[in-house]
Amino acid sequence: MDINTFDIAKSDLADAGREDRPMRTEANSPVVLEKEASADFVVVGGGLSGVCAALAAARRGASVVLVQDRPVLGGNCSSEMRMGIMGAHGDDNKEAGILEELQLRNFHHNPLMRYTMWDDVMLSAVLGEKNITLLLNTSVEGVEMEGGRIAAIKAWNGNACTRWTIRGRWFADCSGDGILRLSGAKFRHGREFPEEFGEDFLQKGGDHRTMGNSILLQLRKTDEHHPFIPPSWAYKFTDADFVNDPQPAEKGRYFSYKRLDPENNNFWWIEFGGNIDTIGDANEIQLELKKIAYGVWAYMKNHPDGRCRDYELDWIGSLPGKRESTRFIGPHILTQHDVMDGGRFDDVVAYGGWSLDDHDPDAFWKHGHQSVHHACPSPFGIPFDCLYSVNVPNLMFAGRDISCTHIGMSSTRVMGTCAALGQAVGTAAALLVKYGIDPAQLRRERIGELQDALEDDDCMLPFRWRKVSPLTAEAVIAPEMENLRNGIDRRYGGEDNGVWVDAGCESMVYSWVAPRRLSGARIVFDSDMTFTGKRMRKLEATTERAEMPKMLAKSFRIDVRSGGEWRTVFQDDLNILRFRKVTFTPTDAEAMRLVVAETWGGRGQPAHVFALDAIEVKQSTK
């Protein structure tokens, strides 16, 4: 991000209103302001799916309005709710792309992993894109339709007493609750009958019930013990309220229960609302969860066995995090069987890999287990046909409101998966803008281009690997560097798929038999995606500082050779990212090299690189 952007904005605001104007009264000033905005692509919802959708579209040239009803971005992983970012199981399957970029930026700027600063890391990423107009504290309250398409949304910002009309050509609902159902888009809320799709993991159905909402707690270690005094309206619990009936894990299935000890506990099981309406009854659910949460902590902290005497309540959520509400209907509805078969779709654009994790609607008030986990393949593919409306032609969606069954959604709802879905929808939106088409036509005619674009932007897609650039494929390289152009930009299946290079004294060289006109390079460094500490699942406040991945390049440069002489065309001495696509002035060169001068591990720590692609100047088609 260019910090001068903020200097200019501050200067404009500092000078605003200096000119003489009359005092405002009811005679000369409206109470409610009316404002308009427009863009190629309008994204509703600023959780991880919405943030990734907006960033992906903007970076590929689309103008974007991002509408978020809260004062911060991040949704369930923001400081308001503090859910950990879960995703596909398995070290080889961690989600990369924009999510990994945000996490690395957070490690660098927020080493103490404070949630409030994490909010602003996401904010900084959005503010850094000139193509994005961000509207915080702005809630959608209406939709304008023209010819069966969404023409505009109506929104209200109570902080600024402003009513917005936001026009666009294409829209994405990343709100989780599916507010753009106001368009008449088809949707479902609740559980299907098991026999509709033959889903045997679903024991009951044909009802409105869903998984519930949760309020989380965070604890802090302390050297002193003081009893906890709960509010008078909190529930009072005894040992009899927490009698579990443990069931042994079975092959492919295990269960989750309330946990009444402080270690490694984020209190996800303080959950309620699945038997009523997680949208319409949100206020009642919020109060009920507060009563439960304070009662749970009073029970734990004041228990005579002293289990929590060394802990204090550091934070309690006020805004519940939602697991489930509504799901849009697309050309395909993702089911239990799609997930268990691995999701082998020819239009795959994202993937999941969390277990089919179905929470009982009775939630906290259920005796025994609250959740049943069914192990599933990781990764499994998710098709583009689950990400756009079957009856509103310019509406897409990403996050927990995509087209799937209740059971299918029990896996795809986690935030690592939602981020990948958001990047897929945002990248698709840029192609819609480029070609002036709707999602259904993109699916029919240009799905391969969407898949290639996602892979080029460091998104893994199951059952296929990235195609390297033609210039990379024809380059002459050392045998030990062949991994750099296998298209597998991560460790996978027990294979390294990368190249280790000593920082400061080795380089990776591509050469060609005749000069080529180069304009950039695509690089994937190793950022240790196996380390889950980047995923903002901070269960306790701590003073321990996070460290950048040791094998990640901190300082690197790109050199080209022309007429036998090497010269530097790009250099970065403070790299913090895994994925870099760098550009430089087009130049004729017979060779290109990547030189890593320093890693974050310091002297003696080699760098690990997964990919190096040479980018050739594109010839004009005009």
pLDDT in tens, 511-565: 999 999 999 999 999 999 988 888 887 777 678 888 999 999 999 999 999 999 9
Summarize the confidence of residues 455-475 as an average pLDDT. Answer: 96
**Beta-strand pair 187-188/327-328:** antiparallel
pLDDT the model gives residue 445: 98
Does residue 364 form part of some domain?
no
- pLDDT (0 to 100) of residue 502: 94
Q: Which of 399, 421, 456 corresponds to the end of one domain? A: 456
pLDDT at 19: 72
pLDDT at 124: 98
Domain annotation covers residue 536: yes
| Per-residue confidence (pLDDT) for residue 531, from 0 to 100 | 85
Say if 360 falls within a structural domain. no
83: CATH:
3.50.50.60
**Residue holding tokens 């506990």?**
265
Report yes or no on 149 lying in a domain.
Answer: yes
**One-letter-per-residue 3-state SS of 492-553:** ECCECCCEEECCCCCEEEEEEEEEEEEEEEEEEECCCCCCHHHHCCCCECCCCCCCCCCCCE
Mean pLDDT of 380-389: 98
Q: Kindly report which listed range (129-133, 300-304, 491-495, 533-537) carries the lowest average pLDDT score.
A: 533-537
Shared domain for 184 and 281, answered yes or no, is no
Three-state DSSP string of 170-231: EEEECCCCCHHHHHCCCEECCECCHHHHCCCCCCCCCECCCCCEECCEEEEECCCCCCCCCC
Mean pLDDT of 126-154: 98
E-strand spans in 308-362?
311-316, 321-322, 327-328, 348-352, 356-359
Which residue(s) pair with 191 in the sheet?
Answer: 207
Domain containing 496 equals 470-616
Q: Which residues pair with 611 in a beta bridge?
A: 524
Does 69 or 542 have the greater pLDDT score? 69
- Asked if residue 601 lies in contact with residue 548, where contact means CB atoms within 8 angstroms, the answer is no
DSSP state of 117: H
Residues 176 and 252 in one domain: no
Give the pLDDT of residue 17.
66
Do 417 and 477 lie in one domain? The reply is no
pLDDT at 533: 83
- Pair (306, 346) in one structural domain: no
Contacts for 369 with CB less than 8 Å, ≥ 6 apart: 244, 245, 246, 247, 255, 256, 257, 360
203, pLDDT greater than 90: no
Are 432 and 499 in the same domain?
A: no
What was the pLDDT predicted at 622?
A: 36
Sign, Cα dihedral of 123, 125, 128, 129:
negative
Question: What separation in angstroms does the CA of 356 have from each of 122, 144, 156, 353, 371?
Answer: 28, 37, 37, 9, 10
For 9-65, write each residue's pLDDT tens digit: 555 666 766 677 889 999 999 999 999 999 999 999 999 999 999 999 999 999 999
- 363 in a domain, yes or no? no
**Do 259 and 404 belong together in one domain?**
no
Does 586 lie in the same domain as 513? yes
Give start and end residues of each alpha helix (H) in 544-583: none
- Is the pLDDT score of 606 beyond 70? yes
In this model, does residue 6 exceed pLDDT 90? Answer: no
Q: What is the mean pLDDT of residues 465-479?
A: 96
Q: What integer is the mean pLDDT of 456-463?
A: 98
Boundary (domain end) residue, out of 456, 483, 512: 456
Q: How far apart are CA 317 and CA 480, in angstroms?
A: 52
Mean pLDDT of 251-258: 93
* Whether residue 235 is found in the same domain as residue 317: yes
Of 414, 429, 456, the one marking the end of a domain is 456
* pLDDT-based confidence at residue 328 (cuts at 50, 70, 90): very high
Contacts of 317 by beta carbon, 8 Å cutoff, 6+ apart: 80, 81, 82, 215, 216, 217, 293
Residue 619, pLDDT above cutoff 60: no
pTM, two decimal places: 0.96
For residue 1, is pLDDT > 60?
A: no
Do 304 and 344 fall into the same domain? no
406: in domain: yes
Residues 282 and 338 both lie in one domain: no
Which CATH number belongs to the domain containing residue 493 in this structure?
A: 2.60.120.260
DSSP 598: E
Residue 376 pLDDT > 50: yes
Contact between residue 600 and residue 548 where contact means Cβ atoms under 8 Å apart: yes
- What's the one-letter identity of residue 57? A
The mean per-residue pLDDT over the stretch 411-431 comes to 98
Answer for the pair 262, 307: CB distance below 8 angstroms, yes or no.
yes
Residues 124 and 236 in one domain: no
Structure tokens at 475: 């380059």
Residue 46 lies in a domain: yes
Backbone angles phi, psi at 182, to 5 degrees: -55, -20
Per-residue pLDDT averaged across 463-489, rounded? 96
pLDDT, mean over the chain = 94
Tell me the percentage of the chain whose pLDDT exceeds 70. Answer: 96
Tell me how many domains the chain contains. Answer: 3
Domain check: are 496 and 443 in the same one?
no
Let me know if residue 413 belongs to a domain: yes
